[in-house]
Amino acid sequence: MVKSFSDRLKCVSHPKAQELINIILRKKSNLCFSADVTESQKLLELVDKVGPHICLLKTHIDIVSDFTPDLVTELRKLAKKYDFLIFEDRKFADLGNTVQKQFSEGIYKISSWADFINAHVVVGPGIITGLKNVAHNQGLILIAQMSAAGNLCHQAYIKEALMMAEDNRSFVCGFICTESVTSDESFLNFVPGVNFSSSGDGLGQQFVSPSQAVQKGADVIIVGRGIYQSSNPAATAKEYKELAYTAYLNLLESE
Ligand SMILES: O=C(O)c1cc(=O)[nH]c(=O)n1[C@@H]1O[C@H](COP(=O)(O)O)[C@@H](O)[C@H]1O
């Protein structure tokens, strides 16, 4: 039984997850744009074009060659202008004591600007406590599955990820996954590896279409190259947005 985003608001408790659902409903968009480009200017230009169509911007801030703190100031301005949240895809994967420094210190100071972050669960629950200690209202997304071929996220691993999420509901608001990993509607499923014109990249990435992703349980689809490598990123983002949101509406209707 698929719940509408409006109904999900009643069971989702994390403030950032609630904020995200409200944006999804306002903009009729469950599209996250993964802006994996390496120059600040290019990144800002892309986000300025794609911003109207997305609920969430995903960054890999450490791939930007000319990073300065001004970049995140500008990204936050665009987030306000176009009404989206920001997810820094740092994939934390170390001891609690180490990740809290990676999250709040260094040159990126992620805890001062990101709305969502993600973490691998291979380390055990200490990673969640470490990140939570220095978080400023961020929502944590646990990586339960990966889209890469040959990944090691087997059933037992996914089960452990679920248990860690259930034990940390005040901080964990969902999963990176390729299909719905729980019937618990209070967690959001973020699904990467979505592209309607390619099935893979020769480096392990495996793509599904927006409607396939939503049918498998995506609440939010994550699209990178499908948008930023397109000749018209704004029009293509609009297309991904409409395909994913229509797939969600169709799923509700078919219930
Ligand atoms: O955590 C992620 O977002 C992620 C997990 C995963 O299993 N697969 C995956 O592709 N991603 C990220 O999602 C984005 C996908 O980009 P494209 O393959 O270009 O659409 C990249 O930034 C990846 O780092």
- Residues 199 and 153: their CA atoms lie apart, in Å, by 21
Number of domains composing the chain: 1
Predicted local distance difference test score (pLDDT) of residue 228: 98
Domain that holds residue 246: 5-254
**How many other CB atoms are there within 10 angstroms of residue 41's CB atom?**
11
**Which of 68, 58, 74, 65 is closest to 228 using CA atoms?**
58
Ligand 1, atom 22, residue with closest C-alpha = 34
Q: Provide the 8-state DSSP code for 12.
A: -
ipTM: 0.99
Q: Ligand 1 in contact with 192 (CB < 6 A)?
A: yes
- Residues 49 and 51: their CA atoms lie apart, in Å, by 6
Q: Ligand 1 in contact with 59 (CB < 6 A)?
A: no
- Residues 59 and 36: their CA atoms lie apart, in Å, by 7
Q: Which of 91, 132, 216, 238 is catalytic?
A: 91
Predicted local distance difference test score (pLDDT) of residue 2: 81
To test the pocket of ligand 1, the residue of 89, 191, 219 to mutate (highest count of ligand atoms within 8 Å of its CB) is 89
Predicted local distance difference test score (pLDDT) of residue 1: 72
Ligand 1, atom 15, residue with closest C-alpha = 224
Which is the closest atom of ligand 1 to the Cα of 91? 1
How many A from CA of 224 to the centre of ligand 1? 7
Token pair belonging to 120: 């691998």
**3-state DSSP call for residue 194?**
strand
How many A from CA of 35 to the centre of ligand 1? 10
Q: Ligand 1 in contact with 209 (CB < 6 A)?
A: no
Contact 139, 107 (CB under 8 A): no
How many A from CA of 67 to the centre of ligand 1? 21
The tens-digit pLDDT sequence of the chain (255 residues) is: 789 999 999 999 899 999 999 999 999 999 999 999 999 999 999 999 999 999 999 999 999 999 999 999 999 999 999 999 999 999 999 999 999 999 999 999 999 999 999 999 999 999 999 999 999 999 999 999 999 999 999 999 999 999 999 999 999 999 999 999 999 999 999 999 999 999 999 999 999 999 999 999 999 999 999 999 999 999 999 999 999 999 999 999 997
Q: Ligand 1 in contact with 51 (CB < 6 A)?
A: no
Q: Ligand 1 in contact with 142 (CB < 6 A)?
A: no
Contact 5, 21 (CB under 8 A): yes
CATH number at residue 132: 3.20.20.70
Q: Provide the 8-state DSSP code for 200.
A: B
The dihedral over CA atoms of 38, 172, 209, 194, expressed in degrees to the nearest 10, equals: 10
Residue 94 CB contacts under 8 Å (≥ 6 apart), including other chains? 102, 123, 127
Predicted local distance difference test score (pLDDT) of residue 255: 76
For the whole prediction, is pTM greater than 0.90? yes
- Residues 92 and 226: their CA atoms lie apart, in Å, by 25
Predicted local distance difference test score (pLDDT) of residue 234: 98
